């Protein structure tokens, strides 16, 4: 029996990248003569891609929304210059990915982060080798929660039974739209109580994931 595909979100699921995203936003704001925002606030803006995050920052600090394209580019430039300085995999991620790879599970990353910085982070943290497919926020004309990015990952993995692993409201909505089972990592960037997010299984530490995967049966 072919092992099931595993598709992972990136930010807030595999890695805690909020500190580097926050640093890029703070640098962009400093360029504009604006005071820094705190980490918790910027983290609350994560989830719908960088342009949406910058839009939320602009709205919060009262900058001119007409400057959105320029400020998005500036934030991305700052981020690309130091995208993995503070970012770390969540505890247990590397060991669990190794075990899942040894068990034969095809694995992919499906993120709203642009694909180049996503790959840079995976490479810098030594986990790119686990993923034969990476679909980013600029890989397709649409972002999650549209199901197309997740469907693209599944197709690139060869189709078949799939579990999507994510941490947020966007990930839960993506799984529902794609009609794919969803495993919710509860220690990421979600803002909604676990009970209020649609999910098939939930886990708070990565060492629990292989057992959950083993319990699934291809359909």
Looking at residue 92, its pLDDT comes to 97
Whether residue 219 has pLDDT greater than 60: no
Q: Is 9 a catalytic residue?
A: yes
Looking at residue 48, its pLDDT comes to 81
Q: Which of 9, 11, 167, 171 is catalytic?
A: 9
Average pLDDT over residues 149-172: 97
In this structure, the strands spanning 88-89 and 201-203 are unpaired
User: Could you tell me how many residues make up the chain?
Assistant: 219
Average pLDDT over residues 40-59: 92
pLDDT: which is higher, 47 or 119: 119
User: Which structural domains are found in the chain, ordered by start?
Assistant: 5-16+88-215 (3.40.50.1000), 18-81 (1.10.150.240)
Looking at residue 1, its pLDDT comes to 63
Indicate the range of 45-54, 109-118, 200-209 predicted with least confidence.
45-54
Residue with tokens 């805690």: 16
Question: What mean pLDDT value characterizes the chain?
Answer: 95
pLDDT tens digits along 171-217: 999 999 999 999 999 999 999 999 999 999 999 999 999 999 998 86
User: Residue 95: left if φ>0, alpha if ψ -120 to 50, beta else—which one?
Assistant: alpha
Average pLDDT over residues 158-165: 96
Looking at residue 14, its pLDDT comes to 98
Looking at residue 195, its pLDDT comes to 96
pLDDT tens digits along 115-154: 998 999 999 999 999 999 999 999 999 999 999 999 999 9
Looking at residue 2, its pLDDT comes to 78
The percent of residues in the chain predicted with pLDDT above 90, rounded, is 91
Mind giving me the DSSP string for 69-127?
HHHHHHHHHHHHHTTTSS-EEPTTHHHHHHHHHHTT--EEEE-SS-HHHHHHHHHHTT-
Looking at residue 217, its pLDDT comes to 66
Looking at residue 156, its pLDDT comes to 98
């Amino acid at each position: 029996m072919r092992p099931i595909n595993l598709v992972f979100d990136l930010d807030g699921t595999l890695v805690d990248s909020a500190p580097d995203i926050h640093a890029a936003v703070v640098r962009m704001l400093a360029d504009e003569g604006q005071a820094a925002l705190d980490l918790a606030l910027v983290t609350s803006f994560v989830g719908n891609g960088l342009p949406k995050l910058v839009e939320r920052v602009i709205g919060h600090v009262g900058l001119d929304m007409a400057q959105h394209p320029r400020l998005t580019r500036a934030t991305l430039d700052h981020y690309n210059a130091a995208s993995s300085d503070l970012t770390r995999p969540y505890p247990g991620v590397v060991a669990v990915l190794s075990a899942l790879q040894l068990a034969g599970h095809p694995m992919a990353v499906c993120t709203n982060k642009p694909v180049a910085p996503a790959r840079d982070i995976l490479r810098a943290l030594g986990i790119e080798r686990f993923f034969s497919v990476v679909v980013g926020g600029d890989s397709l004309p649409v972002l999650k929660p549209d199901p197309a990015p997740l469907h693209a990952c599944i197709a690139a993995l060869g189709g078949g039974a799939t579990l999507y692993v994510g941490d947020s409201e966007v990930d839960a909505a993506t799984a529902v739209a794609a009609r794919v089972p969803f495993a919710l990592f509860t220690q990421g960037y979600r803002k909604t109580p676990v009970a209020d997010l649609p999910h098939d299984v939930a886990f708070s530490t990565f060492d629990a994931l292989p057992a959950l995967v083993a319990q699934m049966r291809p359909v």
